Structure 1
């Protein structure tokens, strides 16, 4: 059964999004963006919803058909005399993960939070989507309220990721589980990162592709985003002092059609489609950073050329951490 969901703002102000949701969006250089944050600069339109779905399916392949890593089912086991388990999905995007989790755990309450109401209007009974800018000192949720908190691909909208981790720790109950997934923005060619190739003086084989991601990383830095959060994810979690049993993993995500293994090939195809949509979505960010239109167009076209006709095997690195809040 599916229900219309409420949009909840900080300070417990509740309203429903009707057919006219224009107040939650703004236009930037011809693309629709969220109206809550100027730091997160990826669009909030139909193409981005499709990209969110592709990412979700790609991770399901990576996780062996599951929606998560870590002992989520054990944490969400209903217990006599205990109130309903709660799951919080930070940066929910198109809402695929939250909806799948609500379907898989019908006894749990699942809340997905994002900057824009781009999620489906009809959702499982136990699923709610809420609006909130997560890039702030205090998030509008009680302490010790959630059993599982999940956040992925959202550090590019956060100025102080350590502050967010402290908020996650506050909102989790003792023994609660956090799952963090962040893609690295440093490109990889034939297994070597841009840093490694520069160190040994080797060409990347994908000059346009590498140039685009360096421009993207500089735009993030200019907006106050730490591009080193993904590779430092486990250290940042440990530094809070609030978590134990920290498990850190790295996933190598092939991009394109070069893998021989069927599962890796499916991941590579979904990653390729993800980046095919993402490249033109970066143009408003480049233009807002002061790049001229022809420069941004050339940068994206040359990166697309490398994506369509790669001379090497491109890939990306995914950083995955799950941990328990200390009792």
Structure 2
């Protein structure tokens, strides 16, 4: 009885949150390329929620920077760039009630009403520069955005993060990359098509394993730390692999991804759908494709 009541309350709160998000205006103009990488419906938002708990489980923490003491003491000012629906922030804001949290995203899928009082969201485009003065935050975290940041934009984005971080504060970037180990032919083809799609927009996925070098090139962050966890995509990766398989399939199995990737793979939309939802799943039962989830963090001098 108790568990059922608790579950019903969670579902009611979730639907209220979705209703709030659904009724909010967005400043995004129609752009099929961009929609492939941002949440557009409840399923996309659910995948972002799921990814938050996936990364938290893999690292056994919400962050790698040594910021725990300051968060606990309170008055720690935290910014999350590319916050999406704000899952990471909601988790921390409830845990560290004395600290202050801000989420920034150009896609308004975050809640403005159903949230802790120490959490605020800002609709802004990071590519225009962060709308804050210098030395404003104790901790800045960027969610995975490598599929959106062009090769020639990384220096600017990281410089902006460092600019608005207080001396002695920390920046942290979370992202994912494919190691190419243990992959079957279908996954390899899908990845290459995805990589080609990114390159056509000026995005280079090969930068991800080397983001620490970009951070280190800034004179204010000469020492960069790397916290990395590997996992196997699919059933041979255990429960973690199956959770990530659900996220991966859902990410690629939508109308916009189908339109982007099927021509690059030389298949029809119907064939692409079968490739993603059937052939890839079968292949993953017999392969061990390795991916890495990595956190780069640095202290500002």
TM-score w.r.t. length of structure 1: 0.76
Q: 2:24 aligns with which of 1, 21, 25?
A: 21
Question: Which one has a larger percent helix, Structure 1 or Structure 2?
Answer: 2
Instruction: Give the CA deviation at 1:76.
Output: 3.0
1:133 alignment counterpart = 125
Q: 1:48 aligns with which of 28, 34, 44?
A: 44
Q: Which of 304-313 and 98-107 deviates more? A: 304-313
Instruction: Give secondary structure in 1 for the equivalent of 2:253.
Output: helix
Residue 226 of structure 2 corresponds to residue 248 of structure 1? yes
Question: 1:301 and 1:94 mapped to 2: Cα distance?
Answer: 30
Instruction: Give secondary structure in 1 for the equivalent of 2:205.
Output: coil
2:281 alignment counterpart = 307
Question: 2:70 and 2:199 mapped to 1: Cα distance?
Answer: 37
Residue 231 of structure 2 corresponds to residue 235 of structure 1? no
Residue 152 of structure 2 corresponds to residue 174 of structure 1? no
Residue 156 of structure 2 corresponds to residue 163 of structure 1? yes
Q: Work out whether residues 262 and 272 of structure 2, in 8 Å CA contact, stay in contact via their aligned partners in 1.
A: no
The 1:288–1:59 alpha-carbon spacing in structure 2 relative to 1, beyond 3 Å, is: closer
**Aligned 1:161-310 pairs, distance under 5 A:** 161-184=154-177, 186=178, 188-190=180-182, 204=183, 206-259=184-237, 265-281=238-254, 283-285=255-257, 287=259, 291=263, 295-304=268-277, 305-310=279-284
Question: 1:268 and 1:234 mapped to 2: Cα distance?
Answer: 26
Q: Which of 53-62 and 224-233 deviates more? A: 224-233
1:197 alignment counterpart = none
Question: 2:132 and 2:261 mapped to 1: Cα distance?
Answer: 34
The 1:253–1:300 alpha-carbon spacing in structure 2 relative to 1, beyond 3 Å, is: farther
1:321 alignment counterpart = 296
The 1:223–1:175 alpha-carbon spacing in structure 2 relative to 1, beyond 3 Å, is: same
2:73 alignment counterpart = 78
Q: Work out whether residues 161 and 229 of structure 1, in 8 Å CA contact, stay in contact via their aligned partners in 2.
A: no
The 1:297–1:239 alpha-carbon spacing in structure 2 relative to 1, beyond 3 Å, is: farther
2:8 alignment counterpart = none
**Aligned 1:85-104 pairs, distance under 5 A:** 85-104=76-95
Q: Work out whether residues 145 and 173 of structure 1, in 8 Å CA contact, stay in contact via their aligned partners in 2.
A: yes
1:58 alignment counterpart = 54
Q: 1:109 aligns with which of 100, 104, 108?
A: 100
2:6 alignment counterpart = none
Question: 1:98 and 1:176 mapped to 2: Cα distance?
Answer: 18
Q: Work out whether residues 279 and 300 of structure 1, in 8 Å CA contact, stay in contact via their aligned partners in 2.
A: no
* Matched positions, count: 276
Long gaps (5+) in structure 2: 1-19
1:262 alignment counterpart = none
2:136 alignment counterpart = 145
1:193 alignment counterpart = none
CA RMSD across the alignment: 2.6
The 1:113–1:251 alpha-carbon spacing in structure 2 relative to 1, beyond 3 Å, is: same
TM-score w.r.t. length of structure 2: 0.82
Long gaps (5+) in structure 1: 1-16, 191-203, 260-264
Instruction: Give secondary structure in 2 for the equivalent of 1:183.
Output: strand
